[in-house]
A and B are shown apart, each in its own frame.
Chain A
Amino acid sequence: MSGTPLLTIHDLTVSVGGKQILTGLNLAVATGEVHAIMGPNGSGKSTLAHVLAGRPGYEVTSGNIVYQGRDLLALAPEERARQGLFLGFQYPVEIPGVNNVYLLKAALNAQRKERGLPEVDAFEFLALVREKMKLMQIEDSFLSRGVNEGFSGGEKKRNEILQMLVLEPTLAVLDETDSGLDIDALKVVAAGVNSLRSPARSCLLVTHYQRLLEYVVPDFVHVLVRGRIARSGDRGLALELERRGYDWVSGAAA
């Protein structure tokens, strides 16, 4: 909590298809911190996650984002990824014909290249992936299939976390990785996220449920309402939200 600033979002305004979705959002994340972002459907949580990852189609009309001291918005999506920003998708896409292991290896090597490291050694890679698969309880056979091809909703989410574990990002933005998980899978995913917690890494957890936060205890909780942060607090805020509902915050924000 006393880390250096990793991500600073200042007065961010974003439109999609001419409609303003983020309306002056401010957020600061220091290294080592876990921030949870909650908020009603359509409030702009995924929009924020996508803008951070650089998805095309979002128009930033004002504000700025500084990541590791650099202008994040000036970087292409692949550059952001190579500099340690990881987006866990709310809806991971299926890419039949490109297999999971290929993607893992290509992603890891892209990052290593950025850092001036040689391509990952085959044995090292094998050992790394096997270890992480065990943690995520993913079977070998899944990995030789196409990316997310025919995976169930929960399997897709576990696969996102597997990718995250292999890539060891500096900033993980997890968009509703807990949605659609059964209780055992939720624990597995939480264990995956916790295994990466370190003073050098930060995490932005977008979630609707207090339940995930029982396993991954956040340092801060923010409530996003109509495109800006309406309230921030510690994990107690998540509990209070669960009791009182979003109307409580929405009313205050209006």
Chain B
Amino acid sequence: MSTLLADRIAAQHASTLAALPPQLAGGARRRAAMAALATAGLPGARDENWKYANLRPLERQSFTPAPLNPGAAAAAAPAELPQRLPGFARDVFRDGNFAPALSDPLEAGPARILPLAVFESGSPPAPAHAGRDQRFALLNAAFATDGASIAVPATAAGPARIELLFVASAAAEAGASYPRVELRLEPEARLTLIERHLGVSDGASFVASAVAAELDRGAALEHYRLQELGARAILFDSLSATLGADARYHLRAIGSGALAARSSIQVRLAGERAGLAFAAASLGDRQQLQDTYAAVEHLAPNTRTEETFRGIAAGRARIAFNGRMVVAREARGADSRQSLRGLLAGADAEIDVRPQLEIYTDEVSASHGATAGKLDEQMLFYLLARGLDRETAQRALKWAFLGDVVARIEPPQLRQQIETRLAAQMLGGSTFREFL
């Protein structure tokens, strides 16, 4: 990071601090985060693991949180939000601020959802293990205006279901937006969480979001992340999760929005037999950039990972997925599987899928595959030989390609919403399914 940028962030932080909600542990956390950021700096273009990210917007961005503009409330009318999903509580945040009028937290079940702004103290500390690739999470912690803190106790009554909608409506000139989620699943607790980032205008918003999750022994989290920001938005997203023994984390991420989106993910399998199933899809068209860096650390015996990535780059889009797997010496019996595939759907598009393995024990079972290429010629010919026109056939195959990820979205209404969106965005509306 240039010292210029560092100084500017520090100065903006200092002048904003007084105006930020003090409740985030009395501002102590903010100062700590800011100090850590000043030491570590934001990533630069030469940083390992950041070469695909577009860091240029940082140079001119104001990091001061976008002011709560009551006039913009109309810009996020309920009608513009995705339909409510039955059985899910909904909390809506606009430009990082809780929007009670658009929310309905009643159905959360056993979970306690608290907007961070009303937290007095004792909110979970920023993860101590966050690595260098989580530095945007520090930026978020330093400036966050609000967010959701969710604590889930164990219960026999089935999983808690919560949908968090983060709506970006402010233009970048107005400042940045800092969505924040802190999750804590107590032993054996279960939660289905939908985290959705969307834009209600085509305005260029700057969003730096952060999610920190702790899964205690035997807890199970099913986490859907949908990035549907507007066509000019810039996103830096950080997700860190730590899993205790026997915890299970199902993470499904679909990114199709924003002009440039970078997602930095760190999952620590810290307890024995902890398991991660991560399926992600990135779709890019025009000049879009979708860059994901996912670091998974196997730190305990018999931990498991199954990672699936499917990316489609059309137009002049660039898509990158860097899947790093670390199997520590202690992680005897670890099982790590990776299937990363990229599809080039435009002559000027670019795609880079990269598995990165670091294994420090012999007792590991690992299978890793990464391919990037064009549509399967045999499949294409089969469809053409049945009379489908080339464009329809190609779209059908793109759809098939995404199936490995989309099919894992379990809540039926959510899957339907996602399919409809993806189909409209890149497939001319068809979902390539008919029923008798």
Chain A interface (Cβ < 8 Å from any Cβ of B): 53-56, 76-78, 80-82, 87, 89, 92-93, 95-99, 101-107, 110-111, 114, 126, 129-130, 140, 143-144, 146-147, 163, 167
Is residue B383 within 8 Å, beta carbon to beta carbon, of the partner chain? Answer: yes
Choose from A93, A105, A140 the contact partner of B434 (Cβ within 8 Å).
A105
Is residue B360 within 8 Å, beta carbon to beta carbon, of the partner chain? Answer: no
When distances are taken between beta carbons in the complex, the residues of chain B under 8 Å from A53 are 385
Chain A residues touching B, majority SS? helix
Choose from B377, B381, B401 the contact partner of A97 (Cβ within 8 Å).
B401
When distances are taken between beta carbons in the complex, the residues of chain B under 8 Å from A96 are 400, 403
Q: Are B433 and A56 in contact (CB under 8 A)?
A: no
Distance A146 CA – B435 CA, assembled complex (angstroms) = 12
Distance A80 CA – B432 CA, assembled complex (angstroms) = 22
Q: Mark B41-82, 1 if CB is under 8 A from A, else 0.
A: 000000000000000000000000000000000000000000
Contacts A56-B381, A95-B397 given; does A107 touch B387 at CB 8 Å: yes
When distances are taken between beta carbons in the complex, the residues of chain B under 8 Å from A106 are 386-388, 392, 396
Most-contacted residue by chain B among A101, A147, A167 (CB, 10 A): A147
Contacts A101-B434, A106-B392 given; does A81 touch B384 at CB 8 Å: yes
Q: In angstroms, how far is the closest chain A Cβ from the Cβ of B144? A: 39
Is residue B270 within 8 Å, beta carbon to beta carbon, of the partner chain? Answer: no
Choose from A89, A101, A107 the contact partner of B436 (Cβ within 8 Å).
A101
Q: Are A130 and B436 in contact (CB under 8 A)?
A: yes
Q: Mark B375-397, 1 if CB is under 8 A from A, else 0.
A: 01111011111111110110011
- Please name the residue on chain B nearest to A82 by beta carbon: B387
Distance A87 CA – B381 CA, assembled complex (angstroms) = 11
When distances are taken between beta carbons in the complex, the residues of chain B under 8 Å from A78 are 384-385, 387-390, 393
Chain B interface (Cβ < 8 Å from any Cβ of A): 376-379, 381-390, 392-393, 396-397, 399-404, 407, 432-436
When distances are taken between beta carbons in the complex, the residues of chain B under 8 Å from A107 are 386-388
Distance A134 CA – B376 CA, assembled complex (angstroms) = 32
Q: In angstroms, how far is the closest chain B Cβ from the Cβ of A51? A: 12
Q: A76-B390, A102-B432, A114-B387 are in contact. List 13 more A-B contacts (CB 8 A).
A: A77-B381, A80-B385, A87-B385, A93-B379, A95-B379, A98-B383, A99-B434, A106-B386, A106-B392, A106-B396, A110-B387, A111-B387, A167-B387
Distance A110 CA – B387 CA, assembled complex (angstroms) = 6
Contacts A89-B382, A93-B382, A106-B392 given; does A98 touch B397 at CB 8 Å: yes
Q: Are B436 and A98 in contact (CB under 8 A)?
A: no
Contacts A87-B385, A106-B392 given; does A143 touch B436 at CB 8 Å: yes
Distance A97 CA – B436 CA, assembled complex (angstroms) = 17
Q: Are A98 and B432 in contact (CB under 8 A)?
A: yes
30 contacts between A and B (CB under 8 A): A55-B381, A76-B384, A77-B381, A77-B385, A78-B393, A81-B385, A82-B387, A92-B382, A93-B376, A93-B378, A93-B379, A95-B379, A95-B382, A97-B399, A97-B402, A97-B403, A97-B407, A97-B432, A98-B399, A101-B436, A102-B432, A102-B434, A105-B434, A107-B386, A110-B386, A110-B389, A111-B387, A130-B436, A144-B435, A147-B382
When distances are taken between beta carbons in the complex, the residues of chain A under 8 Å from B386 are 81, 103, 106-107, 110, 163, 167
Choose from B384, B396, B435 the contact partner of A98 (Cβ within 8 Å).
B396
Contacts A78-B388, A107-B388, A110-B388 given; does A99 touch B383 at CB 8 Å: no
When distances are taken between beta carbons in the complex, the residues of chain B under 8 Å from A95 are 379, 382-383, 396-397, 400
Distance A106 CA – B388 CA, assembled complex (angstroms) = 7
Q: In angstroms, how far is the closest chain A Cβ from the Cβ of B311? A: 16
Q: In angstroms, how far is the closest chain B Cβ from the Cβ of A68? A: 15
Distance A150 CA – B231 CA, assembled complex (angstroms) = 39
Q: In angstroms, how far is the closest chain A Cβ from the Cβ of B217? A: 36
- Please name the residue on chain A nearest to B382 by beta carbon: A93
Q: In angstroms, how far is the closest chain A Cβ from the Cβ of B154? A: 37
When distances are taken between beta carbons in the complex, the residues of chain B under 8 Å from A146 are 400, 403
When distances are taken between beta carbons in the complex, the residues of chain A under 8 Å from B388 are 78, 103, 106-107, 110
Q: In angstroms, how far is the closest chain B Cβ from the Cβ of A224? A: 21
Distance A98 CA – B396 CA, assembled complex (angstroms) = 6
Distance A97 CA – B384 CA, assembled complex (angstroms) = 17
When distances are taken between beta carbons in the complex, the residues of chain A under 8 Å from B393 are 78
When distances are taken between beta carbons in the complex, the residues of chain B under 8 Å from A97 are 399-404, 407, 432
When distances are taken between beta carbons in the complex, the residues of chain A under 8 Å from B401 are 97
Most-contacted residue by chain B among A78, A129, A146 (CB, 10 A): A78
